[in-house]
A and B are shown apart, each in its own frame.
Chain A
Amino acid sequence: MSKEVLVVDGLNMHYETLDGLVQAVKDVSFTLKQGESFGLVGESGCGKTSVAMSLLQLQPDNAKISSGSIKLDGIELVGMTEKELRTVRWDGISIVFQGAMNAWNPVAKIGEQIREAIREHRPDNSKDENTEKITELFNIVGLDSSVMDRYPHELSGGMKQRAMIALALSCDPKVVIADEPTTALDVVIQDQILKELKKVQELLGLSLIYISHDIAVIAEMTNNMAVMYAGSIVELGPTKDVFSKPKHAYTRLLLESTPSVVGEKKKLRSLDGEPPSLIDEKKGCSFSPRCPAPSKECKNQELEMKLIEVVKGHYADQCCVECG
């Protein structure tokens, strides 16, 4: 039994906007084990990125973590001072951002930007050691070491994303978050990057959190996964189980709306309606307005949303387990 690296418990986060409070993350809990790859899937705007940002506490100024705990190796991150957080960032948790295009500073060389991160966390390293480390990382992600002396605008999108992965690995972090790392890339490059990431993960035994709206990618990349809807996790379990026996109506619909190349031909189902506005807080199942066949619990607006264990290790939201 490998140990638990990251434990998130009852995390709540909201944004203060002109139109009111936006409850972006509602009571999210999950654990990440050493060497495990964990997927977070959901529609755009369901709070996946907000979860990632909360883990590093990089949320914008108008976002507040109202309650919950994030423990990295048993150390509580919520409520840490900025100075303590700085030691955790990159050294403890690093992140590959969704838009690698803009994640590099346009006026500094790639190598310098990676070096800077290492310098911050390993101040005693010599320049040669750092160069060696970066070359090694570039080898892993399949980049030539000459990329170090290039400016971001001289690289292609795929190269930038590879360099980004190298950057994320530069301080040997305990946890790496990949926040839709392939969104802006074309399919071929996407596939390469995914393979690279998977290879790196297996090679280095990384604990990886993979965030995506693409359920097929999650299936390929992860051991365990969680499905998010409107800020809360509606289903959580081993990836295999979630795919073969989805318990929540939303997961089922999500799976049915994705084409599969292998297996029998099925008519794709589309999901009607839009995700609910997160501004007004409501009790009861958040999915009920779009649920194709709501159960009694789903229609019951008084029932709290809460994960229950359906099968061992496989959880789903109690409101919609019985739906359609």
Chain B
Amino acid sequence: MAEYIIRRTLQMIVVFFIFLVSSYLLFNAIPGNAFSNLLLNPDLPPDAYEKVLATYGLDKPIMERVQLYVVNFFKGDFGYSYKYYPKTPIELIAERLPRTLMLFAIVNIVAFYTGFLVGKVLAWRRGSKSETWITVTSVFSYTVFYPWFALMMLWFFGYKMGWFPIGKFLYPEKWYTAPWDSDVIFVLMIKFTAIISIIQFIAYIMTRGIESLSQRRNLRFASLLTIAVGSYFFWNTGDALTKKPYAADIAYHMILPVIVVTIVAFAGTALLTRTTMVEVIKEDYILTARAKGLSQKRIRDRHAARTALLPVVTSFIFTIVTIIDGSVLTETIFSWPGMGQLLLQSVLEEDIPVAMATFSFVGVFALIAHLVADISYSYLDPRIRIKSQG
């Protein structure tokens, strides 16, 4: 196992190096550069363009720049943003990432739970009329033309009904007098969500060993109650109380994007769960479970769904990898200034240092997640043991 991880890590470093060099070359190969529009400005002195290029080192030959970039990259120097000078790409990412994480963490948790629930019910009712129609609906919600759907929802709920704000992640007028930056609030909200999920997860693990089913249910309910009461106190005391209205503002802006993305994202999980469950249901141990006289619900949840969970979890990890990639469209439509928009804008404006930094961030994230997926799969399923070669 250790040998496997080492070898994979070495391979990953090589892959990352190739990734870095090829993306840099790719960005530089795009016609024009971030400062081309200076040429169009007749008020500037004629040598301004050349001077700016020289300042940013863009006048050097491409191979030299690649070398410089890669060397500096591994030294931890990512340069400065061309557009947001003097901010560094790291500063920009640190500002944008919490916003994206907050939105998509909630979406993914909700989508995973609902998707898994719907999927297992669908598989269990296989062949019934309701199953067919729910499956067809999920398929269309999975394949729906996303930007179109998002715009329609935005029009309906934001414009026609006026329930939710149209775009943006906060009301700027509310924040003029705010003592904090929005990032502070985002970080606080992320911490809060993380702690809740961890407590719930621990409660779930702890109660697993309890023999009596009703006791187990009661304890789990109690833990939920504790969380509810706890969060009430958290938001109504001390520091968090003063931050509450701002957090509420952000949360209000989040509702519509969360709903829209969840509708699309849950269907994928639901369909995958259905497929794997349908296969698992054919297994002999489901027959054993039935012969034992267990209730349908118990067989479904404890035997079929538990085994079917494995591929769903793996695919879930892969979904997390594509969060930033997938956020590009969502953030553009909902004018949510997160990582996706940063990625898109930096590519469009040829802000190479920022584009490279976001690309590498996504890349490293993807590489690690793939490795984690492979390893965790072997732990989740006691039958699978990784052999030497990937």
In the bound complex, do residue A120 and residue B306 qualify as a contact, i.e. CB atoms below 8 Å apart?
no
B77 at the interface (CB under 8 A from A): no
Q: How large is the interface on B (under 10, 10 to 19, 20 to 34, 35 or more residues)?
A: 20 to 34
In the bound complex, do residue B284 and residue A117 qualify as a contact, i.e. CB atoms below 8 Å apart?
no
Assuming A86-B295, A116-B294, A120-B293, is B287 touching A106 (CB within 8 A)? Answer: no
Contacts of A154 in B (CB 8 A): 382
In the bound complex, do residue A102 and residue B293 qualify as a contact, i.e. CB atoms below 8 Å apart?
no
A258 at the interface (CB under 8 A from B): no
Query: Considering the complex, which residues of chain A in the window 42-70 have a beta carbon less than 8 Å from any beta carbon of chain B?
Result: 56, 58, 61
Q: Complex: how many Å from CA A91 to CA B294?
A: 11
A-B contact count (CB 8 A): 83
B291 at the interface (CB under 8 A from A): yes
B65 → A minimal CB distance (Å): 52
In the bound complex, do residue B211 and residue A127 qualify as a contact, i.e. CB atoms below 8 Å apart?
yes
Assuming A97-B284, A153-B382, A153-B383, is B289 touching A105 (CB within 8 A)? Answer: yes
Query: Considering the complex, which residues of chain A in the window 95-112 have a beta carbon less than 8 Å from any beta carbon of chain B?
Result: 95, 97, 99, 102-108
In the bound complex, do residue A120 and residue B294 qualify as a contact, i.e. CB atoms below 8 Å apart?
yes
Q: Complex: how many Å from CA A86 to CA B294?
A: 7
* Closest chain B residue, CB of each to CB of A85: B293
Given A82, A85, A88, A106, which contacts B382 in the complex, CB threshold below 8 Å?
A: A106
In the bound complex, do residue B211 and residue A88 qualify as a contact, i.e. CB atoms below 8 Å apart?
no
In the bound complex, do residue B291 and residue A130 qualify as a contact, i.e. CB atoms below 8 Å apart?
no
B178 → A minimal CB distance (Å): 49
In the bound complex, do residue A105 and residue B382 qualify as a contact, i.e. CB atoms below 8 Å apart?
no
Assuming A86-B294, A89-B293, A95-B291, is B213 touching A106 (CB within 8 A)? Answer: no
B279 at the interface (CB under 8 A from A): no
Contacts of A89 in B (CB 8 A): 290-293
Contacts of A90 in B (CB 8 A): 291-293
Contacts of B238 in A (CB 8 A): none
In the bound complex, do residue A106 and residue B307 qualify as a contact, i.e. CB atoms below 8 Å apart?
yes
Interface size on A, residues (CB 8 A): 36
Assuming A107-B306, A107-B307, is B290 touching A58 (CB within 8 A)? Answer: yes
B47 at the interface (CB under 8 A from A): no
In the bound complex, do residue A97 and residue B295 qualify as a contact, i.e. CB atoms below 8 Å apart?
no
Which of A82, A116, A167 has its CB near the most chain B CB atoms (within 10 A)? A116
Query: Considering the complex, which residues of chain A in the window 120-178 have a beta carbon less than 8 Å from any beta carbon of chain B?
Result: 120-121, 123, 126-127, 130, 151, 153-154, 167
In the bound complex, do residue A106 and residue B211 qualify as a contact, i.e. CB atoms below 8 Å apart?
no
In the bound complex, do residue A86 and residue B293 qualify as a contact, i.e. CB atoms below 8 Å apart?
yes
B61 at the interface (CB under 8 A from A): no
In the bound complex, do residue A104 and residue B288 qualify as a contact, i.e. CB atoms below 8 Å apart?
yes
Q: Complex: how many Å from CA A115 to CA B213?
A: 12
A277 at the interface (CB under 8 A from B): no
Q: Complex: how many Å from CA A105 to CA B283?
A: 9
In the bound complex, do residue B293 and residue A103 qualify as a contact, i.e. CB atoms below 8 Å apart?
no
Q: Complex: how many Å from CA A95 to CA B283?
A: 16
Q: Complex: how many Å from CA A94 to CA B289?
A: 11
Contacts of B284 in A (CB 8 A): 97, 99, 102-103
B242 at the interface (CB under 8 A from A): no
Q: Complex: how many Å from CA A150 to CA B36?
A: 68
Given B287, B295, B381, which contacts A58 in the complex, CB threshold below 8 Å?
A: B287
A173 → B minimal CB distance (Å): 10
A19 → B minimal CB distance (Å): 19
B285 at the interface (CB under 8 A from A): yes
* Closest chain A residue, CB of each to CB of B287: A58
Contacts of A58 in B (CB 8 A): 287, 290-291
B127 at the interface (CB under 8 A from A): yes
Which of B289, B291, B295, B382 has its CB near the most chain A CB atoms (within 10 A)? B291
Contacts of A127 in B (CB 8 A): 211
In the bound complex, do residue B211 and residue A117 qualify as a contact, i.e. CB atoms below 8 Å apart?
no
A300 at the interface (CB under 8 A from B): no
A192 at the interface (CB under 8 A from B): no
A87 at the interface (CB under 8 A from B): yes
B116 → A minimal CB distance (Å): 16
A33 at the interface (CB under 8 A from B): no
Not counting A56-B291, A91-B293, A108-B306, a sample of 4 additional A-B residue pairs whose C-beta atoms are within 8 angstroms of each other reads A89-B290, A103-B285, A107-B310, A120-B293
The 10 closest A-B pairs by CB, nearest first: A89-B293, A102-B284, A127-B211, A117-B292, A86-B293, A105-B285, A90-B293, A151-B382, A103-B288, A90-B292
A-B contact pairs, 26 of them (CB 8 A): A58-B291, A61-B127, A82-B296, A85-B293, A89-B291, A90-B293, A91-B293, A95-B291, A97-B284, A97-B287, A102-B284, A105-B288, A106-B285, A106-B307, A106-B383, A107-B310, A107-B381, A108-B302, A115-B211, A116-B302, A120-B293, A120-B295, A123-B212, A130-B211, A153-B382, A154-B382
